[in-house]
Amino acid sequence: MQDNPVVARTAPARTAGGGAARGRERFDTQRPWSLFAPLSVCVLLVGWVALSAANDQDDFSLLLYGLANLIVFADAIDFGLRLYVHRRHTAAASELGGADMRQLSIDLAGARGGRTGAVAVRPYAIVASIFNLEDRLDEFMERLQPYREHVWLISDGSTDNTAKRLSQAGWRCLDEDVNRHKPGALLRLLTTLPARIETVMVIDPDVKICGRHEGSAVEFERVIADFQRSGAAAACPRVAIERDGFLGRFQALEYALAFVVGRRSLADFGITSGVSIYRRDALQRALDQHSLSIYAEDLENTVILLRDGERIYYDGRLVVSTEGPVSLRHWFSQRVGWYYGLLRVYTQRFHEVWGIGRRAPFAMYNYIGYIGVLGLGLHLLRIMSAALLLVSIGAVLDHLFVLNLLPEVSAINPVYFAGAVGGYLTLGALALFVVVPKRERAYIAPIVPVYFLYVLLHIAPITVGFGNWVALRLWGRRLYRDHYQEREERTALPINGLGSRSAALRVPATLR
């Protein structure tokens, strides 16, 4: 799946069988952390900022301070603006619909009133493209068991017994021997769905749809029913990272900011993710015009649908959990693919993106100003900002250990790094209590003091991802081979002209 607030996610396999149960246990019963310790660290670091500033005024340059803190200033302004805009979008609706309405990006009339009990929902399908999932198939089936009667799968050129085992277990699975990749596989699967199905939820194999006791505010079918009444082309739920390791804490805050702040602010100019709900005809139309690349495939769906005047909204009442990268190497490879895909879609479809921006002021800000100018156009300034901060870190260590290795010049000043850390601490602490759901605060709080370092770390994969795009255009090859590239190059030879091992979808008689 994808997002940053633009783009998605895959993760290493866990042991099949009890993996889902263990995942739920991690998600629900983590040993709580005291908020006192991390917040105390915040206070100490803010004091350190003030002390550093007091001791280094002679070497202080306001211009260099501004450049070093460019990332902090940009993120802080964007954070405040998005909170304000979302409040404007749903102010009246929140009073009528209560807390549930504040988790939506638009005034969704059908969601008002907090209705409980059964809802009238028209036929829908949950679809997924899977590849060589045999080793973790038990976990996959356990995750989707509550929705089994609505699940339709396609084995996208699997070379193991994935499709056979699913068929034997009574699941609907189209067994294809051509690897079309996710967009192409979904397009193929859509042609096999019964005509009565008008709503399709696209998921990834590592996704779990969370119930009300696991973070969702309403029942799953309530979200589907409200979407069907809305007339929108797509809706994006909130994606949360399953709790697994220290790196998972950083990703949990990153995803909370991207969805609860980023996507929620976009009204009905939202961005889909690897897990989204679509009107069937809208998804069909998007995939018909799709490049069928797996790079930023959800962003490409978004651009096509919004270009056609469709509406896409965020529905944070529904939470889905996904596995995040557990190693720094896998995280780096994933992010390189994200940002290469972002630049690829943005440049190939810029005229369409520009047309979307012209439809509304905040759409112009998000798609042209935030993604285009700040995200792509000024990336070189972000690199310079990060470099200046690295030099500033060196000055901090030089002062701390009295090494006196660095000269006393305005470009080498510990105040720059101290100011950036202090500013992001304030922003992170505010986000912890304003944005992060209460049930997740204790898990995320310990990393707030050092979250800025995680933000700085992103400069590396973003630069490599953009570099891959430039290198591919200039020399026909990339600088770095990410794991998306390995998937996109993976193909299987067809056994028959249809590219399918079976003449029809394998559907148990009891589920037809």
Domain boundaries, the chain: 34-122+198-476
Report the alpha-carbon angle 48-50-54, nearest 5: 115
Using DSSP's 3-state secondary structure scheme, residue 20 falls into: helix
Q: Which residues have CB under 8 Å from 156's CB, separation 6+?
A: 129, 130, 131, 176, 179, 180, 181, 182, 185
Query: According to DSSP H, which parts of 350-479 are helical?
Result: 350-357, 361-364, 379-400, 414-434, 438-444, 451-457, 459-475
Top-ranked range on mean pLDDT: pick from 17-31, 41-55, 105-119, 454-468: 454-468
Enter the pTM of the model: 0.84
Split at pLDDT 50, 70, 90, the class of 376 is very high
Q: How far is CA 501 from CA 128, 177, 187, 193, 487, in A?
A: 18, 6, 17, 18, 21
What are the tens digits of pLDDT across the range 252-300? 999 999 999 999 999 999 999 999 999 999 999 999 999 999 999 999 9
Mean pLDDT computed over 20-32: 39
Phi, psi of 506 (to 5 degrees): -80, 105
Using DSSP's 3-state secondary structure scheme, residue 319 falls into: strand
pLDDT > 80? residue 496 = no
Using DSSP's 3-state secondary structure scheme, residue 322 falls into: strand
Mean pLDDT computed over 217-241: 95
Q: What is the pLDDT of residue 459?
A: 96
Kind and range of the H or E run holding 23: helix 19-28
* DSSP label at residue 245: S
pLDDT > 60? residue 240 = yes
What are the tens digits of pLDDT across the range 70-118? 898 899 999 999 988 888 766 555 554 555 667 888 877 656 555 555 6
Whether 346 contacts 353, CB under 8 Å: yes
Using DSSP's 3-state secondary structure scheme, residue 6 falls into: coil
Q: What is the pLDDT of residue 59?
A: 60
* DSSP label at residue 109: G
Share of the chain above pLDDT 70, in %: 78
Selection from 278, 252, 163, 200 nearest residue 443 by Cα: 252
Task: Tell the residue number behind the tokens 């996710």, with chain if given.
Answer: 182
What are the tens digits of pLDDT across the range 338-359? 999 999 999 999 999 999 999 9
